[in-house]
Every structure is written in structure tokens, then in C-alpha cells.
Amino acid sequence: MHGVPLLVGCALALVLAGLLVGGVVLLVLVLLGRKRAPPTPSDVTVPVQRPEPATAPTVPTPDRANGSIVWTGGPLAGRVHRVPPEGFWIGREAPAQVVVAEAEISRLHCWIGPRDGTVVIVDDTSSNGTLVMGEPVGGRVLRDGDVVVLARGAASFRFERAQPERAPTEPPAAGA
């Protein structure tokens, strides 16, 4: 007679343990599957370097004022994208403005755009990361010639800072 309550108690303990494990698994699945809003580029603090003083006034060229990225690896190799005033998202699919059709690239992988006279890159907590000059980044200022590798080599590009045109100077006065 004592064996029946023990058997019922064991069965009840197994059911409760199963519910506990199932609840934990469900919680993990919910957290992994939830949609998160991508951070805005202003959410990331990046160091801003003081620009070198110019020897002559400069006039930025509207098309190239922010620089360009030159794709060196992956499906976009050989293409060039200019950095627009509003910046752009690089990702595996829309709504990214620059789509890199590689499974290793996150849906919204990183954002590139101007900030405080510089151009920054912000990694949107991508699954496979972003390296700038071999170092993992969350956000940082891009310098002329920086090499960026996305998702362990699925795609790569070089940043080229725009060279502003020099303002025209007045020719020296005749006889001076």
C-alpha cells in the first residue's frame, strides 16, 4: 500500500520536472525568435578624431563628400558605392539599401554614414561580426584605406575617403 503513494509522487515529480524543462525551452525559443529593433547609428558612441587643418579652403564635391566603399570580396566585388548624406544599411535583404546575398551576412548587418565630419561604421550586433583592419567593431570612425570584412569573409570592402576639391585661388596680380 505504501508503494502506490510513492509511485504517484514520483509520477507527479516527473510531470513537474517536464513542465519546468518545457517552460525553460519555450522561454529560450521565445527570446531567440523575438524581433528586435536595430539600433540607430546615434545609439553607438564612436571616437571622433580632430581633422587636420587645411592649408586652403576646401569645397566638398556633393557626390563624393562622404567617400565611397570599394567592394574587394564577395558577390559585390568590383562595385563601388558612394556614402550618401543619410548613410546606408548593408545586409542580406531589404530593408538594407546595399544587399549582399550571402547567408552569413545578417539581415541588417551594419550601417555606414556620416557623423560629425567623419564617416562611421556601426555593426548591428550581427551574428558573424564585422572587422575593421582585422579588429572586431561595434562602431568606429572609418579612415581612408580601412579594410572592412563582413561575416568572417563573406564580403569585404575598402573605404576611400573623398578628397575635397581645393577652392579656386585668385591668380597673382600682374606685375606683383
Exposed, middle or buried by CB within 10 Å (0-12, 13-18, 19+), for 34?
Answer: exposed
Looking at residue 63, what is its pLDDT?
Answer: 42
**Residue 26 pLDDT > 80:** no
Tell me the average pLDDT across 46-71.
Answer: 53
Looking at residue 25, what is its pLDDT?
Answer: 55
pTM above 0.75, yes or no: no
3-state secondary structure of 80: strand
Instruction: Say whether domain 61-163 belongs to CATH 3.20.20.80.
Output: no
**Residue 49 pLDDT > 50:** no
Q: State pLDDT tens for residues 148-157.
A: 999 999 999 9
Looking at residue 143, what is its pLDDT?
Answer: 96
CA end-to-end distance (rounded Å), the chain = 121
Residue ranges per domain, the chain?
1-32, 61-163
> Which are the contacts of 133, defined by CB distance < 8 A and separation ≥ 6?
146, 147
Q: State pLDDT tens for residues 85-110.
A: 999 999 999 999 999 999 999 999 99
